[in-house]
Structure 1
Amino acid sequence: DARLEDVEREYMRIAAHPHHDAFIGLHDGRPAFLMERYDPTEVELKGLYEAEPGDVGMHFLVAPPRTPVHGFTRAVIEAVMEALFADPEVRRVVVEPDVTNSAVQALNKAVGFEVVREITKPEKQALLCTCTREQFEAATTGDAR
């Protein structure tokens, strides 16, 4: 429901922030999803959880498809996680989906996230979830998939 000006303002804020980045993912050469990477000790979760060395926060947003592609959103979250874990310093990904967002919770579980606990953020009740490199690999390789 955001206006173009609101979106531009938000991403200018992210671009200017030293602990928050946004990336556009392409599918067939067209923008198809957004990945945000952030330092959870400085953005989103500051003071709300027990951080560990190597933690990185993540959000992703998939554009509405012109033609639905079965499994596309699952492929997006896997690509996002692979991109995050490509950095050898990243040991764990931390997310905070809304407690009512069952679709994202299912995707998170499918790639290895575990719910730690419910937390209260200014804008929502959220589930604090974490996924280590090992949990991601176990969930997305071999028989686990």
Structure 2
Amino acid sequence: MTFAFRPVDPLKDAELLHSWLTHPKAAYWMMQDAKLVDIERAYMEITADEHQHALLGLQDGEPAFLMEYYDPRHRELVGLYEPLPGDVGMHFLAPATDRPVHGFTKSVITAVMARLFEDPATERVVVEPDMTNKAVHALNEAVGFVPAREIQKPEKKALLSFCTREQFFKKKPSLLATGVSA
């Protein structure tokens, strides 16, 4: 699977994002009760913030997933760990579907990681998924993340995990062998 990326347009994409983020499958995004205006506002804030970014992953030109990345020195993880130069925080969402495609979510996280590592300044990707989100822990491990420790964020207990450029590219040949492309 091959994907392209484009920035989220907070107003044009709000309805689509609302359907994705309020779906029960997206419970870990904690936006189940969000109204359309809440989604518009949240993504207008992200778009206006130099320290965080939201992209739509496109498959055949159509929105297929959401990717967010941020500077952990300024957002999300401030005070919860000591960031290194080149650290980039990341979230992704493969939306619920009535017709699941085997390997799609692994393709998505692989493409997201490849996109982040396209920037030569990115040395390590940092994630902080909910401790109970075992499915994403397995996906993270598949692309090279190594858990560091449990942290307490205001909204959840999270598993702080890291993936260096070297760890990702060491895993990437096996991902490509299974038909996953970024």
TM-score tier after normalising by the smaller chain length = over 0.9
Q: Indicate the larger mover: 3-12 or 80-89.
A: 3-12
The equivalent of 1:83 in structure 2 is 115
The equivalent of 1:9 in structure 2 is 41
CA distance in 2 between partners of 1:10 and 1:63 (Å): 18
* Aligned match for 2:88, one of 42, 46, 56: 56
Alpha-carbon shift at residue 142 of structure 1 (Å) = 4.2
Letter in 2 for 1:46: V
Structure 1: tracts of 5 or more residues without a match: none
After superposition, residues 1-145 of structure 1 pair within 5 angstroms as 1=32, 2-142=34-174
Alpha-carbon shift at residue 65 of structure 1 (Å) = 2.3
Structure 1 stretches of 4+ moved >6 Å: none
CA distance in 2 between partners of 1:19 and 1:96 (Å): 17
Q: Once the two structures are superposed, what CA deviation does each residue of 1:57-82 show, in whole Å capped at 9, x if it has no partner?
A: 00001122242111000000000000
Aligned residues: 145
Structure 2: tracts of 5 or more residues without a match: 1-31
Give me the CA root mean square deviation: 1.5
Letter in 1 for 2:48: A
Aligned to 1:112, what secondary structure does the other structure show? coil
Alpha-carbon shift at residue 28 of structure 1 (Å) = 2.3
Identity score, percent: 61
Aligned to 1:141, what secondary structure does the other structure show? helix
Q: Normalising to structure 2: TM-score of the pair? A: 0.76
Higher strand share: 1
